[in-house]
Amino acid sequence: MTLKKYFIRALHRLQKGPGYTYKELLVWYCDNTNTHGPKRIIKEGPKKKLIWFFLTLLFASLVFWQWGILINTYLSYNVTSSLSIGFKTMKFPAVTVCNANPFKYSEVKHLLKELDRLIEAALERILQPTPGNSSENTSPPLDLGLWHQIPLVLIDEHDKDNPVILDIFESNQTALVNETALVNETVAGNETAAGNQTTAGNQTAAPPVPANTTSEEKKYKLAVKLCSHQGSDNCTYRNFTSAAQAVTEWYILQSTSILSRVPLQERIRMGYQAEDMILACLYGAEPCNYKNFTQIYHPDHGNCYIFNWGMDEEALNSSNPGAEFGLKLILDISQQDYIPYLSSAAGARLMLHQQKSFPFLKDQGIYAMAGTETSIGVLVDELERMGYPYSDCTMNGSDVPVKNLYSQYNTSYSIQACLRSCFQNHMVEICGCGHYMFPLPEGVNYCNNEDNPGWAYCYSSLRSSIRHRQICIDSCKETCNDTQYKMTISMADWPSEASEDWIFHILSYERDMSTNVTLDRNGIIKLNIYFQEYNYRTISESAATTIVWLLSSLGGQFGFWMGGSVLCLIEFGEIIIDSLWITIINVISWCRGLKQKRVQARYPDAPPTVSELVEAHTNLGFQHEDAGALPRDEALPPEPGTPPPNYDSLRVQPLDVLGPDSDAE
């Protein structure tokens, strides 16, 4: 009922309003609005009316065009970056140090023995100028089964349309041995198209190359052959610009397959222990030792040790800037125990990062060279990104569709962890096993040549797949808040020639309790890590366009082009509402007219009047004739009519006029 009353009142109000037609309403609006232009249209002469109508239409179009640009700019959610410099006591970063060599060669030699013999024999065949100097005849037979799982091959491209694949360990080696100086050859770095033209097994050797052939005339490449399974024709060849790169890549693939079958605790035991690697430690004025470091196993670098990780204890603050208040370390990398074909670089790998974050040293780490003192001055940059809808960043990774495999370390989210977890998930899904360099999902094993013969082919195809890489990039998000450490690195020889004797004596005695010198310059590294200054930079994002900016810009354009304001918009809204009411009235009138037409079509004769109805009741002879009701001879007698009331009987009359019947009544 309340709604009905309101509707009726609204109709009455409309009837008292500007008019009943759209033309009347439009004239009323132009005459009463505060917007410039419409008044002149109805008050000026014919020519000026046309001019003002054109100007009003033009400027109204400009207003709507500018409004569209402003709204589109606001909905693009652009940001502006501001740089501010602050001064405060800061937390010292977490420092991760690792050896460039993941395992002691003396501990893993029994696992890599056959692999080392294979690569030594292969290099001998590649680089040996004459067959007679080869030492193969005096050596035990080689394990060619291990070789053929992931072999190294030579690609002869003298005829580029029909390249010839030469296996290094084929039976006919006469021609192959004469082909030397492969290290100086340059080849393309991508996979060659010859992979679909080769089969596994021994191939016929190419004709020998003359001794005076120049390196430009030689068309040989050393490549790693990867097949979907052993003996398959579905193979690809990864070739390199140098044979040294090919040998390193081949050795990494083969050693990965071998080490993936070794239990984690055994791999930790074969790595460098903290008490052997960390010889001295000093933080500010407080001494520290290897017990102040947290050990984690890193697949690329073996045992790594993190100082001030903040997992078990509160993170340390730095009291003052400068080298005196930083972290000082002396490390022993034991370079004489390096794996010769796995680690071609010698030194320590280190990285500065936030507390409770996983160190990705392969991407963000730096090397410290042996026999030097490396000083690292640190500057801090704090990044603050705006979240949705201004950027697609995440606070803690909970809204990222990729399962973080590094959460088993209880570390915070990072985009590096997300990308590697995404790649490992694709590896498990497509190849049926996980790569040794990344954490494993539950119920999955690492890939190896015995259980997964085609894993290297699958891994290489997946790594070079742009589609899978783009899927991971689209799925992972940057963190909204991040801290970056900018480093200034300087180095000097350490120890000096004048002081190396007594320093090596002291360090050897403290480590081995021996009076003999067991350390040398090739295995010692000194590190100084400190804040250069306490000024830190904060790079923060803010919205380039806000709702206040949008409203002021919209109002400015409306006021400039048409002299309008918010009240003018309300007036315009009012005329729209009145137009809707007029439309409703017209629709209701149309519906009523349609209903009357339907009634007239159903009853073409006019309905009886009141006098006709009264006559029907007073005149006994007036009867309705119903067609086909009853036969004429069986018609019912007429119903008695009700006489009309005697209005004179209601008058007040004298008593003497009333008759005896009146008393009786």
- For 498-550, write each residue's pLDDT tens digit: 998 999 999 888 888 878 888 888 999 999 999 998 888 889 999 999 999 99
Nearest to 437 by CA among 256, 303, 272, 304: 256
DSSP run (H or E) holding 194? none
585-588, long-range: CB < 8 A, 24+ apart: 585/11, 585/14, 585/20
Return d(Cα 202, Cα 370) in angstroms, integer.
45
Return d(Cα 397, Cα 400) in angstroms, integer.
5
Interacting residues of 416 by C-beta distance below 8 A, sequence separation 6+: 358, 360, 363, 364
Asked if residues 125 and 243 have their Cβ atoms less than 8 Å apart, the reply is: no
pLDDT at position 603 is 65
Interacting residues of 163 by C-beta distance below 8 A, sequence separation 6+: 155, 156, 157, 192, 194, 197
- Angle of helix 243-259 relative to helix 455-463, nearest 10 degrees, comes to 120
Give me 173's structure tokens. 């080696």
Burial class (CB in 10 A: 0-12, 13-18, 19+), 134: middle
pLDDT tens digit sequence for 252-263: 999 999 999 999
pLDDT at position 355 is 93
- Three-state secondary-structure class, residue 253: helix
Give me 217's structure tokens. 């005339």
Asked if residues 390 and 478 have their Cβ atoms less than 8 Å apart, the reply is: no
> Do β-strands 372-384 and 535-543 pair in parallel, antiparallel, or remain unpaired?
parallel
- Domains identified in the chain and CATH numbers: 1-79+551-582 (no CATH), 81-101+274-385+484-544 (2.60.470.10), 105-126+146-168+217-270 (no CATH), 394-479 (1.10.287)
What is the Rg, in whole angstroms, of the alpha carbon atoms belonging to the chain?
A: 48
pLDDT at position 70 is 94
Return d(Cα 292, Cα 281) in angstroms, integer.
9
DSSP string, 401-451: SS--GGGGGTPPP-HHHHHHHHHHHHHHHHHSSB-TTSPPPTT--B--TTT
Interacting residues of 559 by C-beta distance below 8 A, sequence separation 6+: 565
Which neighbouring-strand residues pair with 393?
478
Asked if residues 351 and 361 have their Cβ atoms less than 8 Å apart, the reply is: yes
Please list, residue by residue across 277-306, b when 16 or more beta carbons sit within 10 angstroms of its beta carbon and e when fewer do.
Answer: bbbbbbbbeeebebebbbebebbebbbbbb
The total number of residues written for the chain in this structure: 665
pLDDT at position 133 is 47
DSSP run (H or E) holding 23? helix 22-32
Asked if residues 131 and 353 have their Cβ atoms less than 8 Å apart, the reply is: no
DSSP run (H or E) holding 490? strand 481-493
Query: CA dist 96 to 26, 121, 271, Å?
Result: 77, 38, 16
Return d(Cα 527, Cα 281) in angstroms, integer.
10
pLDDT at position 52 is 86
Return d(Cα 150, Cα 254) in angstroms, integer.
7
Give me 649's structure tokens. 């009987």
Cα of 30 vs its chain's centroid, Å: 54
Interacting residues of 501 by C-beta distance below 8 A, sequence separation 6+: 517
Ranges of residues in the chain with a pLDDT under 50 are: 129-130, 132-133, 171-217, 627, 629, 657-665
Which neighbouring-strand residues pair with 538?
84, 382
Neighbours of 553 (CB within 10 A): 18
